[in-house]
Structure 1
Amino acid sequence: MKLGFMGSPDFAVPALRALHAAGHEIAVVYCQPPRPAGRGQKETPCPVHRTALALGLPVRTPARLRRDAGEHAAFDALGLDAAVVAAYGLILPKPMLEAPRRGCLNIHASLLPRWRGAAPIQAAILAGDAESGVTIMQMEEGLDTGPMLLRGTVPLGPRITTPQLHDALSEMGAALVLRALAEDPPAVPQPDDGVTYAPKLTKADALLDWAQPAAALDARIRALNPWPGTYFMHQGEAIRVLAAEPAEGAGPPGTMLDAAGLVGCGTGALRLLRLQRPGRGPLPAGDFLRGFPLPAGTTLG
C-alpha cells in the first residue's frame, strides 16, 4: 500500500518502523522541523526524522500547513492510498485530510472519546483511570472527533508512570494501525457521552501544590515526569521531585514531618523518593537529604 506518514516524537517511531517492515511503500514522511537542542543549541532533527533518514525515506518538514496550497498540492500529487498520523504536531487542513484514497488514520493514545487532545497519556494517569489504550481513528477536521476503526486497552496499575504507559501504547499503536490498514474495519462514530479533553501541558503545571491530597500529588509526579516534571521551591531553588509515594502521616500541607522526606499534604502525606537540585544529578532522597537537609518543621514552597 502506498502511504504517507506524519509524526514527530518517539511515540511515532514504532509505527513508522512497523509500516516499513511490513513492506508498505512509504512515499513521504512529514515531521516537525529540526529545532535547537542541548547545551550548544544545535539544530536537531526529531526522532521520526532521524528514523526516516536511517530507513532511506524522503522527509518533509514544513513549519505550517494550513494555508500552504503548494504543500497541499504536492501531497495530493503523491496518489496515496492512506496516510498514518501519530503525534505529528500540526493540524492537517481539509485538502490533505481528503487527499489519500482511504483518508488519514490517526494513532491516538487514549480510549476515545475520553482524553481528546494533546496529552492523553498524562491525563489518564492524573485522573487515576483504571485503563487506557489506543484508538485508531479516521481523521476529520474536528479535534480527535473522527470515527473509530480499532481500539486496544491496557490496565493501569497503581504505580504506572508516563514513560511506561507511553512505551506500551506506542507499541500497541504500531500493531493496531497495521491491522487497520490490512482489515479495513468499518468506522464507528464516537459516542456523544464520556467526552473529556487533555490540554497541552506547560511548565506552569509542574509546581506541586501541597494543599492537594497525597494521592493526587503522587499521580502528578508519575504523570508529569520527564516533562514538564514536578518541583517544589526551597531557598530560592526549584527542587525536582522525580519519584514519591503516598505514606502514613498527617500534618500541615508542605511541612516536612520528619528529616527523611515525609511531607504533609492536604490529605495524608507524601514520601519523597528521588530528588534533583538545579544543575546536579538525580539522587535517592536519603543521599539528597544528607547533602541538602530538610529537617522536620521545614516548610516547602
Structure 2
Amino acid sequence: MLILRKTQQADRLAEVKLVRHGDWINVIDPSEKEIQELVNKYKVPAEFVHASLDLKERSRIDTVKNWKLFIIRIPVKKETKFLIIPIGVVVNEYNIITICAKENEVVNRFLTDKMNGFYTSKRTRFLLYLIKNANYYFDRYVEELQEITTRVEHRLLHSQANAEVISFLEIQKTITYFHSALINNGMLFEKIIVNKKIEIFPADKEILEDMIIENKELLETVTIFMNNINSTMDAYASVISNNLNITMKFLTSLTIILNLPNIITSFYGMNVKLPMAQDPMAYLTILLLCLSLIIFSLYFFFRKRWL
C-alpha cells in the first residue's frame, strides 16, 4: 500500500506516511492485513474492496453513502500473454483510492511521473487520466498483437504445426476479451456523463468526451482486427479440410490400385476350376491383365485429379 501526494506547489509525485485530504492511496495485490486497514482505518466499504479484487468483475459504478466505486477493465501484459483485469477507483470527498489484484502499467505510468497535468487532490481529473492510460495501453497492446498475428500468419503459410494454430487461437481469445472490455468501459464512460456520479468540471468534461471518442475508435479497430482473425481462422480451417480431402483421395486411389492385382490373383487360390488353370503360361496372362488394370486405373484417377 502506497500513500502518494502530488500538489501544484510540489509538482512531483511523492510517497508520504500519513494520509491527509487530497492524497492518493494505491493498493496492489493487498494482503489480508491491508484489506482490513482499508476497511477499518479508512472506512472503505468492504464490498468495494472485494469487488475491485475480483478478476471477473465487469465495468460498473456503485455508491455507498459518501463513497463511490468506479470499476474499469484494463489490459495487462504478463510476459508474452495479455490479460484483462478490473481496477477499482474508490472516491470520497477527500481522497482517491485505487485497488487492483495485479501490478499494471496503467497505474505504474503515474508512479513514473510520465503523466503531466494531474494532481492527487483533483479526483475527477485523476480518474479521467487513469481512463486515458487504460486507452493508451489498449491501443499499444493491440498494435503488439497485430505484429504477433502477422508473424504467426507467416509461419502458418509454411507450417501446419499445432503450435501455430494454438498461438492463433490464443490471439483470437485475447482480442475477444479486449473487445468485451472496451464495450463495458464505453458504457461506463457514458454513465459517468449521464448519471453525474462524480463532479465533472467543464475542462474535465472535454477530456472525458475525448476519452469516449478514443474508446469508440479503439473498439472499431479491435472489431476489425477480430473479424480479420476470425476470417483467417475460417480460411485456414478450409485449407486444412481441403488438404485432408486431397490426402484421402490419394490414399483411396492408391488402395484401389494396389488391391486390383490381389483381387484377380486371389481367384486362382480357390479350389475350383478356372480358365487357364492348366496352362503353364497362365501366370503371364494374369500378370499382363493386372498391369493393364493398374495402368487404366492410374489414367482414370489422374483424369479425376485424385493423384
Q: TM-score, normalised by structure 1?
A: 0.23
* Structure with greater helix share of residues: 2
Which of the two has higher C-alpha Rg?
Answer: 2
Q: TM-score, normalised by structure 2?
A: 0.22
* Structure with greater strand share of residues: 1
